[in-house]
């Protein structure tokens, strides 16, 4: 009987350790004097082409584990796309031509708040671990996500 209890305890500890080892990242910037932050999972490629495997039209949660979240104290404008200040869950979708769009969804109502098209470029050096960056200067900023040799980004302004 002691063996069964020990085995159950070891299994429970292993499961909780796996959850605790989820690697999370945070990208933050101050834009127009206000905080803009994204919290996300940071999986590694480990020799895989994860973005290449993404199916067109299928939402991707942009990382691993818990959903990717955006909290912004500023109203953001990505060109003609407006995103009011607040909290959002972010996903990304690749289209048939390989272009990516970030979708911001209200976490309470599940309503789509904005669709932000991203511009893709090729990085000189590959990024092993999925990375999101937010940069800001004055009232202008950039949202970027990088993985492998791909960088997908969108400039924005804040007020």
60-113 confidence digits (pLDDT tens): 988 888 999 999 999 999 999 999 999 999 999 999 999 999 999 999 999 999
Nearest CA-CA partner of 52 in 144, 133, 126, 105 = 126
CB-based contacts of 2: which residues, under 8 Å, 6+ apart? none
- In the numeric block, the tokens 């910037």 are attached to 29
Contact 48, 33 (CB under 8 A): no
pLDDT band at 53 (very low <50, low <70, confident <90, very high): confident
Whole-model pTM: value is: 0.84
Backbone torsions φ then ψ of 83, nearest 5 degrees: -130, 110
Neighbouring C-beta atoms of residue 22, cutoff 10 Å: 13
């Amino acid at each position: 009987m002691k063996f069964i209890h020990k085995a159950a305890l070891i299994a429970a500890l292993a499961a909780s350790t796996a959850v605790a080892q989820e690697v999370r990242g945070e990208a933050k910037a101050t834009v127009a004097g206000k905080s803009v932050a994204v919290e996300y999972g940071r999986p590694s490629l480990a020799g895989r082409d994860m973005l290449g495997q993404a199916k067109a039209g299928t939402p991707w949660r942009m990382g691993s584990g818990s959903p990717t979240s955006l909290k912004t104290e500023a109203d953001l404008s990505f060109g003609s796309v407006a995103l009011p200040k607040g909290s959002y869950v972010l996903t990304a979708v690749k289209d048939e031509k390989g272009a990516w769009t970030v979708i911001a969804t209200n976490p309470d109502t599940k309503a789509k708040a904005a669709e932000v098209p991203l511009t893709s470029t090729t990085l000189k050096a590959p990024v092993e671990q999925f990375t999101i960056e937010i940069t800001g200067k004055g009232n202008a900023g950039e949202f970027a996500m990088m993985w492998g040799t791909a960088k997908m980004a969108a400039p924005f302004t804040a007020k």
